[in-house]
Amino acid sequence: QVRLQQWGAGLLKPSETLSLTCAVYGDSFSAFFWNWIRQSPGKGLEWIGESRPSGGSNYNPSLESRVTISVDTSKNQVFMNLSSVTAADTAVYYCARGNYGNDLDFWGQGGLVTVSS
Amino acid sequence: SSELTQDPAVSVALGQTVRIACQGDSLRSYSASWYQQKPGQAPLLVIYGKNKRPSGIPVRISGSSSGTTSSLTITGAQADDEADYYCNSRDSSGSRVFGGGTKLTVL
């Protein structure tokens, strides 16, 4: 069974960089898309971006200038950095596995990130 | 359009049938997947590939699509189905996009 475990700083100040890690256990890593999604308090899901199995990444245009998603295939880990955070970036952040059917079939547990001065 | 539109809230009487719709131009080209989210939990994939259920998802949950609309149907709604439901697909640029979500209340 696939399991995604994520971690990272939970409290940031404005202008800092958010860094999250997602470790993948139990299945092939390189064959899938690795996504980050966030959910602001009381709001809906927002796709941040993904790392593609062929290499490279694809980002939400609204965040593209500030976000970087990368992978370490030797450790089966996915990373996300979001620079110059503001209070609007306060959210629960999820990592999720995407497949070629365009589904997000496994999700991490989520982690709340709060941006506050 | 890169947007997926869902009704914000829907209610259904216990044991009745409810349909939750997701509308967007990109659904002509890409199939939608559906996610159930309960308070404090991560989303759970419940429908993919238009009408396929992952293991463990009850058969009362089904999906369909026509043109620019994809739908999630719950036949014989149970109290456990009360949750937020989100559709997801890709837009013409290949970016993923979520619908705004539908809060389902089981009365």
Q: For residue B106, is pLDDT > 90? A: yes
Cβ-defined contact of A104 to B43 (cutoff 8 Å):
yes
Contacts of residue B21, defined as CB under 8 A and 6 or more positions apart, other chains included, come to B6, B7, B69, B70, B71
- The answer to whether A94 touches A102, Cβ cutoff 8 Å, is no
| Closest B-chain CA to A51 | B95
pLDDT (0 to 100) of residue B2? 56
Check CB contact of B44 with chain A, cutoff 8 Å: yes
| First-to-final CA distance of chain B | 35
Say which DSSP state B30 is in: S
Check CB contact of A47 with chain B, cutoff 8 Å: yes
Task: Kindly report, residue by residue over A36-95, the tens digit of the pLDDT.
Answer: 999 999 999 999 999 988 788 999 999 999 999 999 999 999 999 999 999 999 999 999
pLDDT (0 to 100) of residue A26? 87
Q: For residue B1, is pLDDT > 50? A: no
